[in-house]
Chain A
Amino acid sequence: MFEARLISSGILKKVLDAIKDLLNEATFDCSDSGIQLQAMDNSHVSLVSLNMRSDGFDKYRCDRNLSMGMNLANMAKILKCANNTDTVTIKAQDNADTVTFMFESQNQEKVSDYEMKLMNLDQEHLGIPETDYACIVRMPSHEFARICRDLTQFGESVVITCTKEGVRFSASGDSGSANIKLAQTSSVDKEEEAVSIEMQEPVTLTFACQYLNSFTKATPLSPQVSLSMSADVPLVVEYQIPDLGHIRYYLAPKIEE
């Protein structure tokens, strides 16, 4: 028996919004420690890694490890039927071929449940080693989203250059070029508005805008985002989901031919 309850459906909607741009379907691996998902986009250029800890749920029970393959468009149809303030309970029997989403209104006067067929998906799991990154940039998530959106107008790729002075995002194309520099903030009223840089050595890497923009769909999950970079390894874009876990995106850098 698997049962996981979140006080607000809104958070699950945000999680789904953060992954469904990149993935059509995905396997949710449920265990005692929580719900994990690791999946690559169709082109195998980027990867989503989601972790929702069991202690982040209002109620969590997982008697046996369970892998639930879900069509994310169908899951989105179901979550559309919930109000953000509804409680959501995800339920499945051991070895079941369906999962049930139950929504309860705050006053408990409306209870709805939706059953969805599960899918058997081929799992292609990548082993991602612990890595010490040359640069870790932390910044407001809305700022990162804005930069990605703005630079997409000027080129297909963004060059990210990180030094101890700051981080620079650049794009260029037929119409011209664009550069955005962010310095480390010296003092801020709110911690989530800070820009900070941990640097071992400077890094310059190029990434496809299309994927970066998909990653920013996670912006509503977290006020801050971190970008971890080293020469010639994939970028990690991480959003901490308060009291629940994290979502990480990996993106292979582009290589000049």
Chain B
Amino acid sequence: TSEQPKLGSYYEYE
């Protein structure tokens, strides 16, 4: 099984 992270865990919200 694999988890699907969201983009917010890589990039900062401006």
A joins B in a complex: yes
Cβ A126 vs Cβ B13 within 8 A: yes
Which chain A residues border B10 with CB–CB below 8 Å?
233-234, 252
Which A-chain residue is minimally distant from B2 (CB atoms)?
A254
Binds B, one of A38-46, A81-89, A170-178, A196-204: A38-46
CA distance A3 to B8 in the complex (A): 34
Is A206 positioned at the interface, with any CB of B under 8 Å from its CB? Answer: yes
Nearest neighbor of A232 in chain B, beta-carbon distance: B10
Interface membership of chain A positions 125-160, coded 1 if the CB is closer than 8 angstroms to chain B and 0 otherwise: 111110000000000000000000000000001000
Number of A-B contacts (CB under 8 A): 55
Judging by beta carbons under 8 Å apart, are B8 and A44 in contact? yes
Task: Please tell me which one of the listed residues B7, B12, B13 contacts residue A252 in the complex, with CB atoms under 8 A apart.
Answer: B7
* Per-residue interface assignment for chain B, residues 1 to 14, with 1 indicating a CB less than 8 Å from any chain A CB and 0 otherwise: 11111111111111
Please list 22 pairs of residues, one from A and one from B, whose beta carbons are closer than 8 Å in the complex, sorted by A's number. A40-B7, A44-B6, A45-B4, A45-B6, A47-B7, A124-B13, A127-B12, A127-B14, A128-B11, A157-B2, A206-B2, A233-B10, A234-B7, A250-B7, A252-B10, A254-B2, A254-B5, A255-B2, A255-B5, A256-B2, A257-B1, A257-B3
Given A254-B2, A256-B3, 19 new contacts (CB under 8 A): A44-B7, A44-B8, A45-B6, A46-B7, A126-B8, A126-B12, A126-B13, A129-B11, A157-B2, A234-B10, A252-B4, A252-B6, A252-B9, A254-B3, A254-B5, A255-B3, A256-B1, A256-B2, A257-B1
- Measured CB to CB, the residues of A under 8 A from B are 40, 43-47, 124-129, 157, 206, 208, 233-234, 250, 252-257
Q: Which of B's residues lie within 8 Å of A, judged by CB?
A: 1-14
